[in-house]
């Protein structure tokens, strides 16, 4: 299934090629329009088709107050995360964005290495039926791709001559988005995350009116960082996963 496709007259899914390549099996994203009713019957038809097609994972996301989440739960989807979104207007930053530069191709592997060992709160790591190694690899490839062109502003900061952290930002419509940000463990709690955000605000000042960022509810350190940088809470969504029996048995985390 290479593109969005009608599954049951009201549901459509799209192959998530990036995740599928890492996990070695098809991954579907359930595309849920705002005015589409969800029923457990339709969703069970979808999961039956997924099993027939060897799908390892189906991902769905709904606002926290969306009653259609009940149908997802009844059909065997599991709530994985509560994703919080923050926004702030972009203005010339109050502090200079010192020490932050744009990454180049030579920095891609350093950023990938930082990403591979830095993330624990994202939905891939939070799902006990997905392997940590696959979740780590997704973040590593995400960072590498960001430096190599996916992000239009791949920002990095150096310490002792090495890349100590990155902030991969991009435009979405008129606005700017922090797509992936991390500081390597030896350099945390030294203000580098704040510098990376200041660098992003400086980069987009006069270019984009607003900056957005999302993180998991349990990631209290990141939430505090964004609030200190002037971001305000905008909304929340729930992410749901369905995994096949093959995925649960063959790809579960080791004890």
Backbone phi, psi, residue 252, to 5°: -70, 160
* CA–CA dist 235, 63 (Å, integer): 8
Task: Say if 167 falls within a structural domain.
Answer: yes
CATH code for position 199? 3.40.630.30
User: Do residues 109 and 156 share a domain?
Assistant: yes
Task: Say if 70 falls within a structural domain.
Answer: yes
Tokens linked to 207: 């270019």
User: Do residues 208 and 187 share a domain?
Assistant: yes
User: Do residues 113 and 227 share a domain?
Assistant: yes
User: Do residues 11 and 47 share a domain?
Assistant: yes
User: Do residues 95 and 28 share a domain?
Assistant: no
**Cβ contact 84:222 at 8 Å:** no
Task: Say if 253 falls within a structural domain.
Answer: no
Task: Read off the pLDDT of residues 92-116 as tens digits, 9 standing for 90 and up.
Answer: 765 666 789 999 999 999 999 999 9
Task: Say if 168 falls within a structural domain.
Answer: yes
Task: Say if 34 falls within a structural domain.
Answer: yes
User: Do residues 70 and 124 share a domain?
Assistant: no
* CA–CA dist 133, 125 (Å, integer): 9
User: Do residues 186 and 123 share a domain?
Assistant: yes
Task: Say if 10 falls within a structural domain.
Answer: yes
Residue in this structure with the two tokens 């299934």, named with its chain if needed:
1
What pLDDT is stored for residue 33 in this prediction? 84
Counting as low any pLDDT under 50, the low residues of the chain are 1-9, 248-255
Domain extent at residue 61: 5-76
Tokens linked to 142: 């995400």
User: Do residues 100 and 65 share a domain?
Assistant: no
**Cβ contact 107:164 at 8 Å:** no
Model pTM score? 0.88
Closest CA to 171 of 194, 150, 145: 150
User: Do residues 91 and 191 share a domain?
Assistant: yes
User: Do residues 70 and 99 share a domain?
Assistant: no
- CA angle, corner 210, sides to 205 and 215, nearest 5? 115
**Cβ contact 111:156 at 8 Å:** yes
Task: Say if 48 falls within a structural domain.
Answer: yes
User: Do residues 223 and 118 share a domain?
Assistant: yes
Domain count, the chain: 2
Q: Which 3 state secondary structure label does DSSP give 181?
A: strand
Kindly report the number of other CB atoms within 10 A of residue 19's CB atom.
Answer: 21
Helix, strand, coil fractions of the chain, as percent rounded to 5: 35, 30, 30
Task: Say if 252 falls within a structural domain.
Answer: no
* CA–CA dist 255, 253 (Å, integer): 6
């Amino acid at each position: 299934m290479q593109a969005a496709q009608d599954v049951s007259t009201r549901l459509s899914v799209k192959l998530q090629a990036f995740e599928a390549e890492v996990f070695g099996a098809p991954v579907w994203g359930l595309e849920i329009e705002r005015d589409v009713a969800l029923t457990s019957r339709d969703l069970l038809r979808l999961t039956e088709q997924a099993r027939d097609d060897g799908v390892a994972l189906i991902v769905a996301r709904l606002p926290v107050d969306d009653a259609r989440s009940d149908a997802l739960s009844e059909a065997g989807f599991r709530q994985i995360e509560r994703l919080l979104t923050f926004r702030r207007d972009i203005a010339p930053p109050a502090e200079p964005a010192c020490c932050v530069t744009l990454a180049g191709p030579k920095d891609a592997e350093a950023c990938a290495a930082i990403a591979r060992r830095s993330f624990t709160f994202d939905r891939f790591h939070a799902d006990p039926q997905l392997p940590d190694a696959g979740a780590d690899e997704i973040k590593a490839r995400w960072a590498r791709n960001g430096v190599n062109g996916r992000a239009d502003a791949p920002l990095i900061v150096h310490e002792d001559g090495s890349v100590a952290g990155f902030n991969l930002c991009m435009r979405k419509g008129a606005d700017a988005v922090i797509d992936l940000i991390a500081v390597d463990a030896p350099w945390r709690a030294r203000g580098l995350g704040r510098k990376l955000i200041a660098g992003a605000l400086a980069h987009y000042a006069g270019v984009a009116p607003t900056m957005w960022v999302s993180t998991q509810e349990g990631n209290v350190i990141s939430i505090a960082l964004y609030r200190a940088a002037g971001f305000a809470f905008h909304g929340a969504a729930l992410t749901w996963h369905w995994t096949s029996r093959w995925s649960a048995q063959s790809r579960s985390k080791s004890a």
